Structure 1
Amino acid sequence: MARSSRKSVAPTNPLLKLPVRIGKLDIKAIIGELRQLHEDAEDESVGQMPADEELFGALLHLEANAGALKSEKARRKAAIKRVMLWEYLREQADLHQAKAIEQARAAGIEWAQLASPLAVNTPSAAYNKAKRLHAAVLTEASRGDRPVRRTPEAVREAERQAAARAAAQRRAEAEAARRHAVLAPAAQRLLDHRADLDDDEDVSFWLDQVAAVLPSCQTPTQLVSLQTYMEAVVRELRKKEHETGRPAVSAAAALLAYAAAAEATSG
């Protein structure tokens, strides 16, 4: 009987099992729960237990004094909590060690010098281990449910995707800056001459929205809002012209501001 071949997993694919990371925890609250279990058990050593935020020391103390818990229920609950906290600590250690490696490299430290601190024998092994650890940083940065696999290929792919996201963000910011340079002056001209615009209730409402967003218009979201409000002003003025058969703007300066707004929102 022929053996079925095992499907190979692409080295860049993410891990498939969910959840695969502990993620964020309220450490102080969990240590506080464990402290309370020992206090309820009248553990005499609880007074020497490190503070709730001192995770490593607190875990060592709880491990050494696990036998002080009298009930099986308390022992089981405490053991599970400690397993979870050690896993959390492992995740945090990977994250912070990876950041330390980045800082060492930025300071000019060679891979050969990092071999011993990383408990490996060669510069190439140090490089590969650093790449695996960098997966923790990439997972933290993406805030995704699936972590980056600890293979050099997966890390490189995650780095490529992160670079692509960063480039897209830079393009969006550049486009926002370009649009702001066009929209902001046109919006200000509208506001400067709003007294000469048609005083229709809808026109006034949208001009109020323009006035509210313009002073703090910096983010892409705010820029979209500004354009939306300006388009609404132009739309309402045109609607009024169509309904009345007369110009919505009479003064020359206001007419130029109206035209500038129409041009700015059309591009």
Structure 2
Amino acid sequence: MAGRTSRPSVPATKPLVKPRVRIGNLDAAALVGQLRQLHEDAEDEAVDRMPADEELYQALLHLEAHAGALKHEGARREAAVARVKLWEYLREQADIHQSKAVEDAREANVEWTGLVSGLAVKTASAAYNKATRLRAAVLTEGSHGSDSPVRRTPEAVLDAERRASLRAAEERRAEQEAARRHGLLAPVAQRLIEHRTGLDDGGDVSDWLDEIAMVLRDCRTPTQIVSLQTYVEAAVRALRKIERTNARPAASTLDARLAYEAAAELVDR
């Protein structure tokens, strides 16, 4: 008798091939408000005692207890499906907020043994593993679709957190480099604008200087800094083209020539 074909093992850190379907972002209060309206339309005498739309858990309990007040089958069907959706949403949110509570407890120096009962496990190691798996929900929620959903294994979570840490470090380096470039670039660009009347405005020079002036008004983000650098480089190329074509200096005043030379030096670095 032939033996069963063994299922290939899946690496614990491998992302999910078929991500779990999630409710994700949902205006829960608005949906509770729609359920409230169904009960008002059905003249439910208990609707006045229904908790506020923002009190999701208590509102769901109330709606469950008074589901029989909806006499029309269509309304009962619509309300029941909406309650199913809201409970699933609440379940998803519970993972995220419980993970944050565990994080706060650990920052308050609570040992894993102190979280055993709260996480409904029997040992400190089980508490650690469950808390790590909970972080998968946080990582998946925080990725907003940019990454594959994180597998709910400690290995996958730790690997995802390591990769997130590397990305954060890279973003910090990019921001620091952007700030350094801005510190060098902004004064040079400002001098070009201040002395633009002494620069040959033939060709594309004037257009590029206009672009520089516009970006300089509010140049803070890395994207804006890159745009500023691009426009300064383009202005320098246009000025050099004028000099080659006309065989004469592109600057007619000393200040304009110094501003142009400073920009050209920065571009050539």
Is the pair's TM-score, using the shorter chain for normalization, greater than 0.5? yes
| C-alpha separation in 2, matches of 1:79 and 1:174 | 52
Structure 2 counterpart of 1:91: 92
The answer on whether the counterparts of 2:203 and 2:238 sit within 8 Å (CA) in structure 1 is: no
The answer on whether the counterparts of 1:20 and 1:147 sit within 8 Å (CA) in structure 2 is: no
| C-alpha separation in 2, matches of 1:77 and 1:148 | 33
2:207 pairs with 1:205: yes
Moved more, 180-189 or 126-135: 180-189
1:207 deviates by: 1.4
The one of 182, 185, 199 aligned to 1:183: 185
Moved more, 238-247 or 220-229: 238-247
2:75 pairs with 1:81: no
| Structure 2: runs of 5+ lacking an equivalent | none
TM-score normalised by length of structure 2: 0.93
The answer on whether the counterparts of 1:198 and 1:248 sit within 8 Å (CA) in structure 2 is: yes
User: Amino acid of the residue matched to residue 169 of structure 2?
Assistant: A
| Aligned ranges 1:1-267 → 2 under 5 Å | 1-18=2-19, 20-144=21-145, 146-200=148-202, 202-267=204-269
| C-alpha separation in 2, matches of 1:175 and 1:63 | 56
1:170 deviates by: 1.1
User: Amino acid of the residue matched to residue 200 of structure 1?
Assistant: G
The answer on whether the counterparts of 1:14 and 1:147 sit within 8 Å (CA) in structure 2 is: yes
User: Amino acid of the residue matched to residue 7 of structure 1?
Assistant: P
CA-to-aligned-CA distance 1:23-44 (integer Å, 9 cap, x gap): 0011122112211222222221
The answer on whether the counterparts of 1:114 and 1:123 sit within 8 Å (CA) in structure 2 is: yes
Moved more, 71-80 or 195-204: 195-204
| C-alpha separation in 1, matches of 2:264 and 2:197 | 18
1:19 deviates by: 5.4
Q: In 2 relative to 1, CA 223–13 (structure 1 residues): closer, same or farther, beyond 3 Å?
A: same
The answer on whether the counterparts of 1:115 and 1:123 sit within 8 Å (CA) in structure 2 is: yes
1:2 deviates by: 4.3
User: Amino acid of the residue matched to residue 60 of structure 1?
Assistant: L
1:202 deviates by: 2.9
The answer on whether the counterparts of 1:21 and 1:147 sit within 8 Å (CA) in structure 2 is: no
Q: In 2 relative to 1, CA 19–114 (structure 1 residues): closer, same or farther, beyond 3 Å?
A: closer
| C-alpha separation in 2, matches of 1:5 and 1:23 | 35
| C-alpha separation in 1, matches of 2:62 and 2:257 | 77
Aligned length: 267
The answer on whether the counterparts of 2:188 and 2:263 sit within 8 Å (CA) in structure 1 is: yes
Secondary structure of the 2:204 match is: helix
TM-score normalised by length of structure 1: 0.93
1:266 deviates by: 3.0
